[in-house]
Structure 1
């Protein structure tokens, strides 16, 4: 029994020494591990501050760009409105400028007619002015309607009278009292017509 008792304390002491060595080793690991974890945390917080500063700089830059774009758009809108007003105010400028020579010729014809010129030359002069005027309007897209002999169309014609006609069947335009006109593809004035009944 004495041999057993002596063995047990020896074994205990060995285990205690081993465990104390393990504890010391473990405590060393525990002491170093918090220091190691603090260094990466400090590095991470520095990176986060740098990222936040960069994002703030980008946000400020984008805001400045937005303000500049808004100011440019406001200036563009004001300029466009002004141009639109000028365009509507002077839309007929080109046409009137082209008609001024026609107006001059009418004035000359009236002065010549008033001085006792022959009626034939006066009529010829007025006819020339009419043709000049019509050419200016035609160049702008004006076209007279050819209504006589055509079937009555309420979109193109305004019937003011129904007449009997041996030449034309019922519902045909017999006579144009006032010409109708197209401006390019749009009817700007329907023709006033007599229609066969």
Structure 2
């Protein structure tokens, strides 16, 4: 019995798995430390790679945000420029239309003055002309058109067109003393200069 039991113990020892650390002269904890240290190097390189990618994405985001700001500023400038251009086109169109109507207004003014000086003119006819004249003036006012002040004002070459000069000490120098034709402005735009007489 003792002989057989000894042989079985040897066989059992031969079948047990061998620890590689023992074979290499080390312990099992040494092998685990080596495996852990090897994985740690891979983790560090992966973190650095992620940081590099994050920096690249951050730079791209900054570039896109900068492009968005420039585009928004350009669009805002475009809107402002478009509004100015529309206003300028509108003012030009109104100015040209009013300029074509001014001879009619001038003729109404002459006709009304002539009717006032003519005692034979029918009063109802005169009232009708004055009514139409007022309607014309109201239409011009609604468009933003205003008369240029002339008589008694200092001569302004940007508003007045001097067609006659007189020497008169009773007036200050460069004073408009008479208006031959009314001038009109639309906002800051002169539609027609006033035709005036100026005292030197």
TM-score bracket relative to the smaller structure: 0.3 to 0.5
TM-score by length of 1: 0.43
TM-score by length of 2: 0.42
